[in-house]
Amino acid sequence: MVFNSVDFFIFLTLFFVGFFVFKFNFKAQNLFILISSLLFYAFWDCRFLPLILTYITLDYFFGILIASEENLKLRKRYLIIAIILNLFGLLFFKYYNFFIEIFNYFLLHIFPWQINSTNRIILPIGISFFTFHSISYLVDIYKHRVEPTKNFVAYASFVSFFPQLVAGPISRAEDMLPKFLQKREIDSEKMSQGISQITLGFFKKIVVADSIGLFVDGTYASLDVMSDFQILLSAIFYSFQIYCDFSGYTDIALGLGRIFGIEYKTNFNRPYFSKNFSEFWDRWHISLSSWLRDYLYIPLGGNKLGKLITFKNLLITMLIGGLWHGAKINFIIWGFVHGIFLIGQRIIPIKLPNIIAVIITFFLTTLAWIFFRSPNLGDSLFIIQHIFEMESFQLLGDFSIIKILYLIFCILCLDFFYFEYFNRYSLKAIIINTILFLHIILFASFNSNGFIYFQF
């Protein structure tokens, strides 16, 4: 069930009641969280419920095993085995079809037979996120950053808590596990902050992102008849669509967490105001970018082994970041392009006025998003070619463009002037919430469009 659906509001109402029924029994409340979260996951596809339970059980016992082993070689061996088992599930479900297609492509040029690729593997929702949860937990235990818990229900609740289960943020045990091991403090101020953040999240998703999505989808479906200027507008609009779609989901998830006394760290920090690409990745999908930095880039050597090694590490990290999003050549190219951007800013450290630096960073980020959004490489190259040619300027659907520009203006104003306004209960927060609620009534699309990052 998606957050913007009737089913979810029914589920949330029942969860809210049950959560406060068990308010004075912490263990029972944790068990209620776990059962509810598993039911939430089963609603997507109950066939994958054993999969997430296997992940949880496996990593729970491996965590205890790694921590209890004093022999460093054995500790490392257990960690490697656990990581391989975690990655096996991810690689099989997410990349099996991709590997078979590549294998068949090369096999066809050598032998007159191929592997049957008609049986497509269904991707379990959220597998990329809870796999990274698990790996970070095990690595942190190995490096003595956290102690493993022997409370299975608390650990399982930490991994499966429904607001962040299917699309993050990728939480760290160091930050979040204690919230499932001790009594949660819930007060009216935190609840009001959570409601405000949820309101903002729904505004971003069902008003801004879904309105833009209609325009962008229409353009991508008819690229051959669209003017170059409309293609450019769609590329720019998509940058705001994916931002509002994903940060909207995050705001809803974090707001729900606040209501129930389980607070997550900020996952987006006004990324389109970044002056370079290092800053962009410090602000965009922070839980993923920091995960890649701490568990991939730094272990590879980070920036401590010379410029060439640093460039190699950046490229590998961003390529894997692209591949994490899916088994598709466009995602790999998207990651590669961002790797080149990060390397380029180190090779040519040009000092520009802030506003110029922000515009250039946004424009190049938008070009990279074209690979992320396009169904294939051919469409990506077609769009980029027509953006730079800019030979035709006709527009279709003028009213929708005016509406989108107005909504983008609203988002920019919120980010620039009232970022995280929900952190304090005040008259300003009440006024902003009222305005956002009115916009939801006037402009929202209530057709339960899924969030973009649910596919990852």
Closest CA to 75 of 142, 147, 137, 136: 142
CA-to-CA distance for 13 and 36, rounded, in angstroms?
Answer: 12
User: What angle do the packed helices 26-44 and 152-160 form, to 10 degrees?
Assistant: 40
CA-to-CA distance for 325 and 95, rounded, in angstroms?
Answer: 11
Residue 179 has, within 13 A of its CA and on its CB side, a CA count of 21
Q: For 3-134, where are the E strands, in sequence order?
A: none
Residue 182 burial by CB count (10 A; 0-12/13-18/19+): exposed, middle or buried?
Answer: exposed
Confirm whether 439 is a catalytic residue: no
Tell me if the bond preceding 299 is cis, omega within 30° of 0.
no
Residues 6 or more apart whose Cβ sits within 8 Å of residue 16: 259
CA-to-CA distance for 59 and 304, rounded, in angstroms?
Answer: 32
| DSSP conformation class of 187 | -
Q: Which of 325, 338, 386, 439 is catalytic?
A: 325
User: What angle do the packed helices 228-259 and 377-389 form, to 10 degrees?
Assistant: 120
Q: Which residues are catalytic?
A: 325
